[in-house]
Amino acid sequence: MNIRKTDIPGLMILEPRVFEDERGYFYESYNERLFAERGIDIRFVQDNESRSRLDVIRGLHYQLEPHAQCKLLRVLEGAILDVVVDIRKNSPAYGNWYGIEISAENRLQVLVPGGLAHGFRVISDYSTVFYKCDKFYHPESERGILFSDKALAIDWGIDPARAIVSQKDIAAPLLEDAENNFIYKPDQKKGFQEQ
């Protein structure tokens, strides 16, 4: 598995080794030992799956500490534009966003550390997204940031007025008004060594 770092500390793109033949394909999407060898020491406790139609935007979501979730995300059907925003105070990338196309075809995965707000836009007719979390869902800690916050200037590839978004996500605050208790500490990046 090839692991690429990004400009946002701790955010990684994983490219699994895929074995294909006339029968189809096989790959390991997660291997605890391999992750540990690469400095990624995470114990996942919950799996989530969602299916959405074209132009649905979900996000930007996160949970406050001590319930912040690290997520390992992949797409089982279709394609998405996956987006994360660094909201860790003191991070060199604070307020920056990163977007990448993840699809069932390219089989890329995104490893999102706690302290990043996460969301995606479906760019195929339908998409099924699967992700592992290292902390359980904790509704009292759930927070969000408005996906169309002009200060973030995220290029979703669609006019925000045409996107299909939940009422809860439309009502989310701007980054400057969002509740956030994350502090970036480069010497304490649990489970994430820069590759």
Kindly state the DSSP code that residue 54 receives in the 8-state scheme. Answer: T
Q: What is the largest CA-CA distance in the chain?
A: 53
- Whether 134 and 42 have beta carbons less than 8 Å apart is answered as yes
How deeply is 111 buried, as exposed, middle or buried, from its count of CB atoms within 10 A (0-12, 13-18, 19+)? buried
**At residue 46, what is the residue type?**
Q
Residue 67 known to be catalytic = no
Catalytic residue among 61, 62, 98, 184: 61
Q: How many residues are given for the chain?
A: 195
The question of whether 126 is a catalytic residue gets the answer: no
| Alpha helices, DSSP H, located in the chain | 32-37, 167-170
Q: Which of 118, 131, 137, 138 is catalytic?
A: 131
Q: How far apart are CA 72 and CA 49, in angstroms?
A: 12
Within 10 angstroms of residue 134's Cβ, the number of other Cβ atoms is 18
Active site residues: 61, 131
